[in-house]
Amino acid sequence: MVDTVIRVDDRPRVRDRERTRRALLDAALAEFSEKGFAGARVSAIAARAGVNKQLISYYFGGKQGLRDALVAEWLEAEAEFARPELTLGELVGAYVRSSVEHRAISRVFVRESVEDAGDDEGGIGEEEVALLRRRQAAGELPADLDPAFVLLALQGAASAGLVFPGDVRRLTGLDPGSEAFAERYAEQLARLLAHLGRAT
């Protein structure tokens, strides 16, 4: 399906519907990553995408709809890599790799957490704690650890490359956005968690 002709800078442009949606999503991801959700402006998103800003409302219902669509994409990706049969170490490693592969949306989530905007949608919760508790019962964690606090520690550990990029470069000599860092760090976290499992 083809949209009607829209005008940007008085130049006619015909856009394919899916290409327009994708351009808006990519532009929104870049803006949210750089400026945060509150700081991003629909006019800047539209300009970056090269379309009329009214198309944001048309396709997504506004800026919040863009964020919701990006979160939905992230959840689809998460369902692919966060498989329940993985060991805890492998699972944390998968999140580390994802934070490099999907660096922009990961930065959006970290920024929102740091800004403490009060929107807990999409964050970790009791369901994730219950899953970790089951892993603990299976011997992957010592019985004297509180799964809620362990989950917080693991979430922080998986985000280290995003939160402390300078420290990563200084301590490891690796680029925190590189596959080399993701692989080495994922392997080290898996070893750490394996040691914890043997302490049960």
Confidence category of residue 117, pLDDT binned at 50, 70, 90: low
pLDDT at 125: 85
pLDDT at 122: 57
118 has a pLDDT exceeding 60: no
Extract the tokens encoding 90.
């492998």
CB atoms within 10 A of CB 95: 19
Domain 82-198 indexed as CATH 1.10.357.10: yes
pLDDT mean over 33-54 = 94
pLDDT at 57: 95
Give the CATH architecture of domain 6-65.
Orthogonal Bundle (1.10)
pLDDT mean over 33-40 = 92
Confidence category of residue 1, pLDDT binned at 50, 70, 90: very low
Q: Among 42, 109, 41, 46, which Cα is nearest to 75's?
A: 109
* Nearest-angstrom CA–CA distance, 27 and 23: 6
Could you tell me if 158 and 92 are in contact, meaning their C-beta atoms sit under 8 angstroms apart?
A: yes
Q: Among 72, 69, 66, which Cα is nearest to 46's?
A: 66
- What residue ranges do the domains of the chain occupy? 6-65, 82-198
pLDDT at 181: 97
Alpha-helix runs per DSSP H in 138-172? 147-158, 160-163, 165-172
Extract the tokens encoding 130.
């219950």
Q: Which segment of 92-101, 117-126, 132-141, 179-188 scores lowest on mean pLDDT?
A: 117-126
Question: pLDDT tens digits, residue range 133-181?
Answer: 999 999 889 999 999 999 999 999 999 999 999 999 999 999 999 999 9
The pLDDT > 70 percentage for the chain reads 88
5 has a pLDDT exceeding 90: no
pLDDT mean over 57-86 = 94
